[in-house]
Amino acid sequence: MHVYTPTSLDEALELLANAARPLTPIAGGTDLLVSWHQQAKDDLDLLDISHLREQLQHIRMTEEYLELGALTTFWDVLRSPKIAAEFPLLAEAARQVGAVQIQTRGTWAGNIGNASPAADGVPVLMAYDAMVLLQSRGGWNAVPLHQYYTGYKQARRQPEQLIVAIRVPRREREYEWFHKVGARRAQAITKVGVAVVKDTQGWRVVANSVAPVVCRCRALEQALDNNTTFQNPKQIRQLLEADISPIDDIRSTAKYRATVLSRLLYYWLRGARKCIAPGI
């Protein structure tokens, strides 16, 4: 194993471009170090970007978007009054990630990069329609987060690319909501989670821990866009089935996940008095 410690973003991109085998970026290390002792290290070369804070740790607001640098942590977001005011779901999700130790080290880019279906930062970013900015020596491109994953733990990032930032469009929003269900109220991996946003472009409903990747629930989104009314959680569950594929695992069962997700959505929509049949 070798650990590369570039002193600038340019050097990091150079190292990624010239590496004989793909380098694994490490930021906060809160995912990468979890299974450190069980992991084979022979094939592992790390690119330690954790000290490139000047270039990669920022919260920037332009007229069109909010930008989080690749080293921006959950804690940075929690401390930002601007974000609390304009993107409350980011603060809400950050508050529910691990405990303070994880919030101060863990980055939003690392949450995306780890590609876990249970990631808590990803659903809120996806519901806000975020873009992932990937940079290589040859330039950069922006990938919508909802198109970033190609399968379980698989993503579009190429070995020579680094996530350098995440951009979230600034839009008028009518509704926004995030809910995480775990075995307890803090420090628990998500059994089922959901983020919902309705903005000028329509509804986005995003669920985690119910599919191989954090996923948009397109059929439900379309029904909401068409002002479909729902009489009971079952009707929502039927629509969710087009997009989710929960499994039984050590944390929960597929049945629990599908039932809880549909009930959460139904009762939230009822509270928001949206798309529920009158009188219910």
The answer to whether the beta carbons of residues 25 and 162 sit under 8 Å apart is yes
Nearer to ligand FAD, 47 or 236 (CB): 47
Question: Rounded to the nearest 5°, which phi and psi values hold at 207?
Answer: -125, 145
Nearer to ligand FAD, 34 or 242 (CB): 34
Q: Interface with ligand FAD includes 78 (CB under 6 A)? A: no
The answer to whether the beta carbons of residues 208 and 102 sit under 8 Å apart is no
b/e code 163-190 from CB counts within 10 Å (16+ = b): bbbbbbebeebeebbbbbbbeeeeeebb
Q: Which residues in the 107-136 window bind ligand FAD by CB under 6 A?
A: 107, 109-111, 113-114, 119-121
- Considering the complex, what minimum distance in angstroms separates the CB of residue 199 from ligand FAD? 23
The answer to whether the beta carbons of residues 224 and 275 sit under 8 Å apart is yes
Per-residue interface string for the shown chain with ligand FAD, residues 161-180, x marking contact by CB under 6 A? -xx-----------------
- Considering the complex, what minimum distance in angstroms separates the CB of residue 115 from ligand FAD? 7
Q: Interface with ligand FAD includes 97 (CB under 6 A)? A: yes
E strands, the chain, in order: 2-4, 24-26, 45-48, 59-61, 65-69, 131-136, 139-144, 149-151, 154-155, 162-169, 173-181, 192-199, 202-208, 215-216
The single residue among 9, 44, 61, 102 that binds ligand FAD, judged by CB under 6 A, is 102
Q: Which residues in the 4-43 window bind ligand FAD by CB under 6 A?
A: 24-32, 34
- Considering the complex, what minimum distance in angstroms separates the CB of residue 98 from ligand FAD? 3
| Number of DSSP helices (H) and strands (E) in the chain, helices first | 11, 14
For residue 255, give the nearest of 246, 264, 244 by alpha carbon: 246
Question: Rounded CA gap, 19 and 276, in Å?
Answer: 55
- Considering the complex, what minimum distance in angstroms separates the CB of residue 180 from ligand FAD? 8
Question: Rounded to the nearest 5°, which phi and psi values hold at 239?
Answer: -70, -40
Per-residue interface string for the shown chain with ligand FAD, residues 189-228, x marking contact by CB under 6 A? ----------------------------------------
- Considering the complex, what minimum distance in angstroms separates the CB of residue 260 from ligand FAD? 17
Number of residues that bind ligand FAD (CB under 6 A): 28
Q: Interface with ligand FAD includes 94 (CB under 6 A)? A: no
DSSP β-ladder status, 149-151 and 131-136: unpaired
- Considering the complex, what minimum distance in angstroms separates the CB of residue 223 from ligand FAD? 28
Residues 6 or more apart from 245 whose CB is under 8 A from it?
210, 211, 212
The single residue among 13, 15, 70, 239 that binds ligand FAD, judged by CB under 6 A, is 70
From 14-22, 104-112, 169-177, 248-256, span contacting ligand FAD (CB under 6 A): 104-112
Nearer to ligand FAD, 30 or 80 (CB): 30
The single residue among 77, 87, 105, 167 that binds ligand FAD, judged by CB under 6 A, is 105
For residue 106, give the nearest of 207, 13, 187, 39 by alpha carbon: 187
The answer to whether the beta carbons of residues 268 and 179 sit under 8 Å apart is yes
Q: Which residues bind ligand FAD (CB under 6 A)?
A: 24-32, 34, 70, 97-98, 102, 105-107, 109-111, 113-114, 119-121, 157, 162-163
